[in-house]
């Protein structure tokens, strides 16, 4: 399997470059907002966007996928930075996660996403949406003005974000509340059916308008010397380095803890969750592709691994393929990886050329964008769709959601997977064995491949067969019988002569009659 660099195809540049610019306009505020939600330096979100747009695009197995920092990993990052003690140690975990993803891709683990129930994934995303909303409330109401805000709201994920809400509302900033409410109203209006029917709204991303609105409102507050104005001193505005070179913006990882169990756990978590999210996004992007191309998922895992390794080395957040940016790329007319590459270059130019302009963005505006993203992940529509899929799927979705919010991400997903496995075992056990009789003649038929999970059902049927019966054990319909099942059948056959029972096998041990 070859994983060489593939240069962007300029054959569709007339469509890809404009699409890349549109994706850039969507990605810039999201990169900043996701870094904010992750409790990481804002520049780390932009750095991840640059790497996702340039490095990953060169190796990607998808023509339409766009990679960058993902909201789905924000809570994982938030917890990891706090538990590991520093952002530099966390970057070490990101590098290791990238190397693990490369190994997964080379091992052809591109099917890993197929083994996680969709209901668990949707429950995870909905829970992340709830957590993002709760974590952004402090920024939306202007609690940034409090000197200890970061230590208060950036808590390990297993701490409930509801714990601090009472204190937050005792320390609100009116200007921040007005800006966040206005930006949120704009985003809701932009997503309304009335405006979505207008073709031009697809070319003007709502998040960008929300950022512009927040900047304009705060500039008006400042020009009028209003007490509502937000300042850098109060911690309410984006703060990126101005006049600095790209090299000075790079934060190097601390590898002194690379063998620490805590670092390795975080690395494995990022690698697995990021891989699953990327593979699901790739699948969704393929469904949107007008040319109906099928992406190479193994190559995509390697590309994501290379991207995360580079991002971690340069001080960036973890990277995944992101469906929001990928779908924006498709709807904007993108047809090849040149669009994603263009968006990455635009992010790089923007940070180097106009950081002072970016520093006028209120955190309240970014909070409004993240609250909007969080709502889309856990909206009433999502809950309704899960309910329509059946009560078992809904229970799996709801339990995963509640478990993640009440505990933490890994425990919640583990609970969801455990319930999913229980459903699978239960379904596999139902009518896997059928016993019918005509007088003293009994037919025991296996309807499904038999494994140890079917032992209980088989044991009940064997016990119900009376003495002096003729029994046929039929395995015609199946291809596999577990050793445990063979053992149970053998034990039954060994005791059959003492009970006057004759046993005949069909495609089990081979044809024959035993008495």
What does the pLDDT read at residue 169?
Answer: 66
Q: Give the pLDDT band (50/70/90) at residue 151.
A: very low
Q: Is 129 helix (H, G, I), strand (E, B) or coil?
A: helix
What is the distance between the alpha carbons of residues 10 and 38, in angstroms, rounded to a whole number? 36
Q: Is the pLDDT of residue 238 over 60?
A: yes
Q: Is the pLDDT of residue 449 over 70?
A: yes
Q: Extract the runs of DSSP E, i.e. beta strands, from 20-73.
A: 67-68
Residues 310, 5 contacting (CB under 8 angstroms): no
Phi, psi of 481 (to 5 degrees): -130, 125
Token match 């005791």: residue? Answer: 495
Q: Give the pLDDT band (50/70/90) at residue 164.
A: low
How much is the average pLDDT of 498-504? 92
Q: Is 361 helix (H, G, I), strand (E, B) or coil?
A: coil
pTM for the full model? 0.67
What does the pLDDT read at residue 156?
Answer: 35
What does the pLDDT read at residue 116?
Answer: 67
Q: Give the pLDDT band (50/70/90) at residue 12.
A: confident
pLDDT in tens, 207-218: 878 888 999 999
Count of residues making up the chain: 515
Q: Give the residues across from 471 on adjacent strands.
A: 442, 503
Q: Give the pLDDT band (50/70/90) at residue 45.
A: very high
Q: Give the residues across from 513 on adjacent strands.
A: 504
pLDDT in tens, 371-428: 887 888 788 888 888 898 888 889 888 998 898 888 766 677 788 888 887 877 776 6
Contacts of residue 255, Cβ cutoff 8 Å, sequence gap at least 6: 92, 95
Q: Which residues of 485-499 are buried (b: 16+ CB within 10 A; e: fewer)?
A: beebbeebbeebeee
Judging by DSSP bridges, how do beta strands 470-474 and 441-446 pair with one another? Answer: parallel
pLDDT in tens, 287-302: 778 888 888 889 999 9
What is the distance between the alpha carbons of residues 186 and 474, in angstroms, rounded to a whole number? 66
Highest mean pLDDT among 49-58, 134-143, 146-155, 391-400: 49-58
Q: Is 458 helix (H, G, I), strand (E, B) or coil?
A: helix
Mean pLDDT of the chain: 83
Which two structure tokens, joined as six digits, stand for 465?
Answer: 């067969």
CA quadruple 258, 259, 263, 267: dihedral sign: positive
How much is the average pLDDT of 495-499? 92
Token match 């996702």: residue? Answer: 52
Which two structure tokens, joined as six digits, stand for 24?
Answer: 């850039």
C-alpha angle 429-433-437 in degrees, rounded to nearest 5: 150
What is the distance between the alpha carbons of residues 57 and 9, in angstroms, rounded to a whole number? 11
Residues 240, 44 contacting (CB under 8 angstroms): no
What is the distance between the alpha carbons of residues 66 and 324, in angstroms, rounded to a whole number? 9
What does the pLDDT read at residue 277?
Answer: 83
Report the range of poorest mean pLDDT among 87-96, 108-117, 258-267, 399-408: 108-117
What is the distance between the alpha carbons of residues 212 and 288, in angstroms, rounded to a whole number? 30
Contacts of residue 206, Cβ cutoff 8 Å, sequence gap at least 6: 186, 187, 190, 191, 372
What is the distance between the alpha carbons of residues 190 and 187, in angstroms, rounded to a whole number? 5
What does the pLDDT read at residue 124?
Answer: 78
What does the pLDDT read at residue 354?
Answer: 80
What does the pLDDT read at residue 410?
Answer: 65
Q: What is the 3-state secondary structure (H, E, C) of 165-176?
A: HHHHCCCCCHHH
Phi, psi of 121 (to 5 degrees): -60, -45
pLDDT in tens, 454-464: 888 888 899 99
Q: Give the pLDDT band (50/70/90) at residue 355.
A: confident
How much is the average pLDDT of 266-277? 90
How much is the average pLDDT of 134-155? 57
Residues 254, 92 contacting (CB under 8 angstroms): yes
Neighbours of 328 (CB within 10 A): 23
Q: Is the pLDDT of residue 158 over 50?
A: no
| Helices within 378-435 (DSSP H only) | 380-388, 391-406, 409-429
Domains of the chain: 16-387 (no CATH), 433-514 (3.30.750.24)
What does the pLDDT read at residue 243?
Answer: 67
Instruction: Find, among 25, 24, 26, 38, the residue nearest to 139 by Cα.
Output: 38
Q: Is the pLDDT of residue 150 over 50?
A: no
Q: Is the pLDDT of residue 33 over 90?
A: no
């Amino acid at each position: 399997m070859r994983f060489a660099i593939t240069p962007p195809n300029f054959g569709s540049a007339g469509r890809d470059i404009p699409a890349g610019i549109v994706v850039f306009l969507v990605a810039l505020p999201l990169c900043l907002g996701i870094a904010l939600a992750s409790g990481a330096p804002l520049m780390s979100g932009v750095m991840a966007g640059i790497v996702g747009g340039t490095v990953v695009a060169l190796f990607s197995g998808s023509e339409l996928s766009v990679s960058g920092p993902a909201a789905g990993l924000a809570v994982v990052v938030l917890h990891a930075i706090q538990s590991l003690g520093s952002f530099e140690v966390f970057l070490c975990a990101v590098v290791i996660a990238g190397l693990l993803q490369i190994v997964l891709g080379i091992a052809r683990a591109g099917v890993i996403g197929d083994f996680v129930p969709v209901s668990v994934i949707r429950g995870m995303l909905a829970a992340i949406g709830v957590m993002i909303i709760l974590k952004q409330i402090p920024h939306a109401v202007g609690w940034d003005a409090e000197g200890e805000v970061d230590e208060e709201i950036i808590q390990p994920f297993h701490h409930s974000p509801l714990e601090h809400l009472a204190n937050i509302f005792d320390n609100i900033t009116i200007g921040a509340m007005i800006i966040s409410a206005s930006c949120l109203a704009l985003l809701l209006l932009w997503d309304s059916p009335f405006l979505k029917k207008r073709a031009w709204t697809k070319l003007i991303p709502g998040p960008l308008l929300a950022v512009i609105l927040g900047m304009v409102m705060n500039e008006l507050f400042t020009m009028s010397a209003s007490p509502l104005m937000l300042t850098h001193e109060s911690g309410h505005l984006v703060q990126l380095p101005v006049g600095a070179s790209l090299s000075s913006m790079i934060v190097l990882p601390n590898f002194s803890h690379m063998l620490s169990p805590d670092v390795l756990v975080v690395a494995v978590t990022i690698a697995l969750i990021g891989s699953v999210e990327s593979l699901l996004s790739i699948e969704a992007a393929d469904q949107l592709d007008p040319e109906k191309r099928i992406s190479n998922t193994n190559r995509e895992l390697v590309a994501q691994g290379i991207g995360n390794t580079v991002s971690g080395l340069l001080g960036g957040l973890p990277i995944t393929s992101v469906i929001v940016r990928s779908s924006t790329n498709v709807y904007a007319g993108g047809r090849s990886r040149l669009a994603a590459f263009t968006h990455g270059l635009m992010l790089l130019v923007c940070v180097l050329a106009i950081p002072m302009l970016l520093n006028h963005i209120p955190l309240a505006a970014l909070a409004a964008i993240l609250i909007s993203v969080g709502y889309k992940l856990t909206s009433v529509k999502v809950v309704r769709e899960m309910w329509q899929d059946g009560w078992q799927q809904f229970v799996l979705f709801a339990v995963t959601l509640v478990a993640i919010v009440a505990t933490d991400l890994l425990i919640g997903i583990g609970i969801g997977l455990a319930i999913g496995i229980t459903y699978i075992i239960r379904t596999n056990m139902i009518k896997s064995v059928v016993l019918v009789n005509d007088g003293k003649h009994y037919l025991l038929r296996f309807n499904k491949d038999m494994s140890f999970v079917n032992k209980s059902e088989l044991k009940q049927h064997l016990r119900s067969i009376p003495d002096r019966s003729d029994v046929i054990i039929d395995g015609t319909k199946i291809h596999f019988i577990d050793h445990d099942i063979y053992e149970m059948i053998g034990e039954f056959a060994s005791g059959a002569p003492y009970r006057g029972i004759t046993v005949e096998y069909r495609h089990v041990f081979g044809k024959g009659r035993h008495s």
